[in-house]
Structure 1
Amino acid sequence: NDDQDSLISGVLRVIEKENEVIVDWRPLDDTLDTSNILCAGKVYLLVIGGVHSVSPEILFYATTHANGESKWSFLFSLTDLKSIKQNKEGMGWSYLVFCLKDDVKLPALHFHHGDSKLLIKCLEKHVKLKKDPYTVTMGRFSKVTNYIFDSFRLSDPSSQRRPPSEMADFLNDAIPGLKINQQEEPGFEVITRIDLGKQPEVSRREPVSAEEWAKNMDSEGRILNVDYIKQLIFKGGLCHTLRKEAWKFLLGYFPWNSTKEERANLQRRKTDEYFRMKLQWKSVSEEQEKRNSRLRDYRSLIEKDVNRTDRTNKFYEGEDNPGLILLHDILMTYCMYDFDLGYVQGMSDLLSPLLYVMENEVDAFWCFVSYMDQMHQNFEEQMQGMKTQLIQLSTLLRLLDSGFCSYLESQDSGYLYFCFRWLLIRFKREFSFQDILRLWEVMWTELPCQNFHLLLCCAILESEKQQIMDKHYGFNEILKHINELSMKIDVEYILCKAEAISMQMMNCKVKIF
């Protein structure tokens, strides 16, 4: 039918000749010699230099008017290729459309079994493909929204996260204006900040008092108005006497809607579970441990780290300190809880403040388990969590200050590896012990977003930007300067600045030029 599109089975060949590469698509019909087609529907025939070989591509179909064989097939040289249009993932069959330099668009090639990316990969052996700058930019926007904007908590407790389908609309409301500067050099797209607006003034309040906490609890011990309590904690933290109880809620050990009786029952069950796990490693004899290299290695690492964790804090100072013994025992028991991960250097830094606040071995362990659920990927062998966060931080910093990002890149510091320690153990070695208690409880509210720690990184870097750039710091100087910030950062100032950045980003308008 001349008026309707038809789905026609076909085979694509990529033919390499002496001076050019040809892309040839033909319908799979009686006129085509099918003897060379292996596993039809699973592979396509790749012909390079006259030698037939099988490439893991999928048989696909061309959508074209079925009014003659001449219109069903096409052939072109890669030198005539102008662009390739590819549909978005998840939007039906994957397809490609080849556009030639004379503005001719060839029929769409539909890959019913997927894997159109493999064809792109094959073509990239012969031509350099550059993503459309607009598409690249929108992709970067979506990355930002995924880890910042889509997790913003609105004041209305009934508000829900936007589903992915609404993200495009959300961009128009939440992301600061950026300008796309297309350079002539292929492979580069520059995103330049236009106007984020002025950072608002932010103030902090006094820590939540025991009286305020008690007023928001009913007669059975349920927490009332959880969002309001979290907002108070975000703006001022907690008085120290409240931390032992409130941290259990913030970390998810205690459900917010639980009663006192339910929490007491939970603690009894968790106490039994903890000591059963503790007995597992306690009952291993020396002879058994000699044949268990992993447990032996975990114990060795834990003993080394415990002996150098927060030893200036009175809770851990001195020899044969009970606090050190508890640190050791909790970390060894965690190896039984999660033997695949076991113990990795840095985990003692996360446990130390928890044990200090809880003053209880069992409660500290289960709070640590909850915290490690958040931090697990940071300590996995592939360190995927760290890689992801560094990429996200780089994307966010470029959004906020592309000029500073460009400077860091010019000094081989664009990967922000100097922030590695900040992210790995959530600033534990950057602030004083008391300040880290305040910082962590603020972050655990997950306000204004789940990844508030990335905004804290940006706030610190923004505070140090002028000195780094004015003094023309290179790679070594930047690393040295950032390391020397340890114990010199004002926690209240940085919390205000990070909150101001989040408000600045939410309040700005978006225009794509």
Structure 2
Amino acid sequence: MALFFMRKASTAELDAFYPIRPECQVDVPKTRFRLRAGKTLSARRWHAAFSEDGHLDIAKVLRRIQRGGVHPAIKGVVWEFLLGCFDPNSTFDDRNQLRQGRREQYSRLKSECQKMVPVIGSGKFLTTPIITDDGQPIEESANGNISNNGGDANHATSDKKVIQWKLFLHQIGLDVVRTDRSLVFYESQAHQAKLWDILSVYAWVDNDIGYVQGMNDICSPMVILIDNEADAFWCFERAMRRLRENFRCSASSIGVQSQLSTLSQVIKTIDPKLHQHLEDLDGGEYLFAFRMLMVLFRREFSFVDSLYLWEVRRKTVLHFPNWVLFY
């Protein structure tokens, strides 16, 4: 009976942190993760893992995370360490200085983008194109927004980087609207705009890849878990250092090609009959798993379970760079 009530309380506690919109309750995958007393990393044990000047006993923390994940109340601050934003051997003062420097750097990057497209940072976001493929301004968007909301988008440009970046912006907006839409969190336009701002600034910074659909799924947890936009941006930037190859596609290969090959070999070894069945169905290349691997199962599991998966698996995306599968 005591165990029953403990599980009930844990479920209610999780629901309070990541509430689901009532109309989406039926469509959301059932969450299997439960907070486990003595195993899940709690706020008390997290704070106890720091020395007086701020050094973190990361080994102790990781052992507990492996056993039961991270309590929702501290996920954001814990992830900053798991993603490598902070060195566990740094002090409180070291981290405060580094955090302030990063916030100032993000502010400069965002201001640079805002000069080109003033809607950035306004609490709103774009879902329609503001320029054509050749850099010409689009006078009026389909939803009636005049192009001068995009700043110098009402002036033609020949700068290839600027053109490509501005072409990304409306696609980012369309993806933002679709991101974790079952969560009450994204009923707020301000929260959607925060996600759009971060992805837009990142697309400007990453000259090689820019923006690809699916990055919104990776960025969303950072936006939800971390209040400060600049801090959320740098967590996303750290995650992308490890995951950006997932989003690199060409005419001859896709970003997760090697992971699909690994999956094929794993299934062939552990379940030859299943592998042969997939071969017979022309599924031997495992392309059906493309999305699963690209966005790390964000759309196959509930929000809570996907975060738990990232945290506890031996080769988790958060702490180990060679995350491939969760076997």
TM-score by length of 1: 0.46
Match of 1:249 in 2: 81
Equivalent residue runs for 1:332-347 within 5 Å:
332-347=200-215
2:44 is equivalent to residue 211 of structure 1: yes
Q: Distance in 1 between matches of 2:156 and 2:299?
A: 33
Higher strand share: 1
Contact 1:250–1:445 (Cα < 8 Å) also in 2:
no
What letter corresponds to residue 200 of structure 2 in structure 1?
M
SS for the counterpart of 1:247 is helix
Match of 2:187 in 1: 317
User: CA offsets per residue over residues 396-451 of structure 1, 9 Å max, x none?
Assistant: 22222222212211221111111111101000101111222222222486499765
Q: Distance in 1 between matches of 2:257 and 2:44?
A: 43
Match of 2:115 in 1: 283
Equivalent residue runs for 1:442-461 within 5 Å:
442-443=312-313, 446=316, 451=322, 453-454=324-325, 456=326
TM-score by length of 2: 0.71
Match of 1:268 in 2: 100
Contact 1:237–1:441 (Cα < 8 Å) also in 2:
yes
Unmatched 5+ stretches in structure 2: 1-35, 117-151
What letter corresponds to residue 364 of structure 1 in structure 2?
A
User: CA offsets per residue over residues 364-410 of structure 1, 9 Å max, x none?
Assistant: 10000011111101111335541110011111222222222122112
Greater shift, 204-213 or 277-286, is seen at: 204-213
Q: Distance in 1 between matches of 2:77 and 2:62?
A: 14
Give % identity: 35
Match of 1:230 in 2: 62
Match of 1:349 in 2: 217
User: CA offsets per residue over residues 289-347 of structure 1, 9 Å max, x none?
Assistant: 654431221112111111221222121115xx110111111111102221221111111
**Greater relative contact order: 1 or 2 (C-alpha under 8 angstroms, separation 6 or more)?**
2
Considering only CA atoms, is the larger Rg found in Structure 1 or Structure 2?
Answer: 1
Q: Distance in 2 between matches of 1:404 and 1:236?
A: 31
2:267 is equivalent to residue 434 of structure 1: no
Contact 1:390–1:415 (Cα < 8 Å) also in 2:
yes
Match of 1:411 in 2: 281
Contact 1:306–1:348 (Cα < 8 Å) also in 2:
yes
SS for the counterpart of 1:316 is helix
CA RMSD of aligned residues (A): 2.2
Q: Distance in 1 between matches of 2:266 and 2:89?
A: 35
What letter corresponds to residue 339 of structure 1 in structure 2?
N
Q: Distance in 2 between matches of 1:212 and 1:351?
A: 27
Match of 2:72 in 1: 240
Q: Distance in 1 between matches of 2:179 and 2:99?
A: 27
User: CA offsets per residue over residues 75-120 of structure 1, 9 Å max, x none?
Assistant: xxxxxxxxxxxxxxxxxxxxxxxxxxxxxxxxxxxxxxxxxxxxxx
Contact 1:289–1:295 (Cα < 8 Å) also in 2:
no
Higher helix share: 2
Match of 1:402 in 2: 272
Match of 1:194 in 2: none
Q: Give the length in aligned residue pairs.
A: 250
User: CA offsets per residue over residues 121-147 of structure 1, 9 Å max, x none?
Assistant: xxxxxxxxxxxxxxxxxxxxxxxxxxx
What letter corresponds to residue 210 of structure 2 in structure 1?
G
Equivalent residue runs for 1:73-472 within 5 Å:
206-224=39-57, 226-284=58-116, 285-288=152-155, 291=158, 292-318=162-188, 321-382=189-250, 384-443=254-313, 446=316, 451=322, 453-454=324-325, 456=326
Distance 1:372 1:289, change over 3 A: farther
What letter corresponds to residue 310 of structure 1 in structure 2?
D
Q: Distance in 2 between matches of 1:216 and 1:289?
A: 55
Greater shift, 237-246 or 436-445, is seen at: 436-445
